[in-house]
Structure 1
Amino acid sequence: MEIAEKTALVVVDVQQGFDELALSLPRNNPDADENIAALIDVWQATGRPVVFVRHDSVEEDSPLRRGYQGNDFKEYVRARRGKGGGAELLLTKSVHSAFLGTPDLDGWLKAEGIGQIVVAGIQTNFCVETTSRMGGNLGYDVVVAWDATYTFDVEGPFGWRLSAEEAARASAVQLHGGGFARVVTTAEVVRAVG
């Protein structure tokens, strides 16, 4: 796998509100936060661009709503912002895709001459998957660091339920098998950058 020097790391919704959800819902990938931090560190150490995405929920009871502490980035992300030598972008959104946020991600990536993105963050089967699908549709070479993402148990129609692990695996299979992205491990990405 090749990770170009201008490849952007897109860190999706690594916010405190998800720690609240984890108190009541089972989640997968217990090492995801450590892996996300490792990706940010290697991106910043090599001067590559990093996009920090924050979900500003418009739902009044959401732990990600603006003005609530859950909207803030997790501490390890806050501590790393502004520390790299490469370009950095803060993007906010109220929908699943970072490509529909402010400022315009597609426009920024194109202005920076970036054709490849690595996506990590929360939740695997929602904002990470939607951002990755849209990136693939827009022609970007999308890489998803699967173990640098996590999600929660989810219920769908007809009372169907998927565990967090099942939901994350289904997302990975659809992204990779559908040609939207290459789904890999954090270690693979770090090796390719190093």
Structure 2
Amino acid sequence: MELLENAALILIDQQKGILHPRLGPRNNPEAELRMLELLAHWRDSARPVIHVHHLSRSPESVFWPGQSGVEVQERFEPLASEGLVQKQVPDAFCGTNLEVQLRSAGIGQLVIVGVATNNSVESTARTAGNLGFDTWVAEDACYTFDKADYFGNARTAAEVHAMSLGNLHGEYATVMGVKRILQAG
């Protein structure tokens, strides 16, 4: 597998609200370090970076506009040359101009990282794959939280993460670690 020169890094929801304790236990405690490794590589190689920020429609959300949760974490502050997409639902393509931005720039390959694996990462990766983008998801550069399944069974963040990646791999995206992505280009 080869990482193309114009592959876009899609960095999802690295806002202060995602760090709120009420979201519960999470997995991948080093995910942000892996995200920052990829971000540094993309910036060093002058590849396109698109930051995706969530502005919720729900006042109960940690991403409700007008409060500190929507502010970007300083370590993920977008550069002036980088793209920014603001979404209101988990899927970064829904109701935004993300597809238009990518297609007009001739970008056909995406590397998706961020949170939450089973929410914004999975929904964005599914749409990207359905739209025909060569989509990669960095399994160690995303994370999620403990969650009950449909039947009320408690699932750990690691289980939720693994199932979400299993849903994506081979059908919508190629799932791999950051080390392998960096080796690809």
Unpaired runs of at least 5, structure 2: none
1:11 aligns with 2:11: yes
Aligned residue for 1:136? Answer: 129
Could you report, residue by residue, the CA deviation over 1:7-40 in whole angstroms, capped at 9, with x for unpaired residues?
A: 000001111111114x661100000000111111
Q: What residue in structure 1 maps to residue 172 of structure 2?
A: 180
CA contact (8 A) 1:35 1:186 kept: yes
Structure 2 CA distance for partners of 1:53 and 1:24, relative to 1, 3 Å = closer
Question: After superposition, where does 1:1-194 map in structure 2 within 5 Å?
Answer: 1-21=1-21, 25-78=24-77, 81-82=78-79, 88-102=82-96, 104-177=97-170, 179-193=171-185
Counterparts in 2 of 1:39 and 1:118: CA distance versus 1, 3 Å: same
Residues paired across the two proteins, number: 185
Give the whole-Å Cα distance in 2 for the aligned partners of 1:182 and 1:50. Answer: 19
The answer to which of 24-33 and 143-152 deviates more is: 24-33
Q: Which has the higher helix share?
A: 1
CA distance in 2, matches of 1:191, 1:72: 32
Q: 1:101 & 1:34 partners in 2: Cα distance?
A: 30
Taking the aligned partners of 2:30 and 2:64, their CA distance within structure 1 comes to: 25
Q: Distance in 2 between matches of 1:127 and 1:101?
A: 14
Cα separation, 1, equivalents of 2:85 and 2:67: 18
Distance in 2 (CA, whole Å) between partners of 1:113 and 1:7 is 10
Distance 1:154 1:126 in 2: 11
1:36 is paired with a residue of what secondary structure? Answer: helix
Q: Tell me if structure 2 keeps the 8 A contact 1:92–1:101.
A: no
- Tell me which stretches of 4 or more aligned residues in structure 1 moved more than 4 Å: none
Q: Which range moves more in the overlay, 138-147 or 153-162?
A: 153-162
Cα distance between partner residues in 2 of 1:39 and 1:169:
21
RMSD: 1.3
* d(CA) in 1 for partners of 2:65, 2:23: 22
Between the aligned partners of 1:2 and 1:77, the Cα distance in structure 2 is 26
SS at match of 1:142: strand
Tell me if the contact between 2:23 and 2:145 (Cα under 8 Å) persists in the aligned partners: no
TM-score, normalised on structure 1? Answer: 0.91
Amino acid at match of 1:133: R
Task: State how far apart, in whole Å, the 1-side matches of 2:95 and 2:53 are.
Answer: 9
Identity %: 39
What secondary structure does 1:99 align onto?
coil
CA distance in 2, matches of 1:64, 1:176: 28
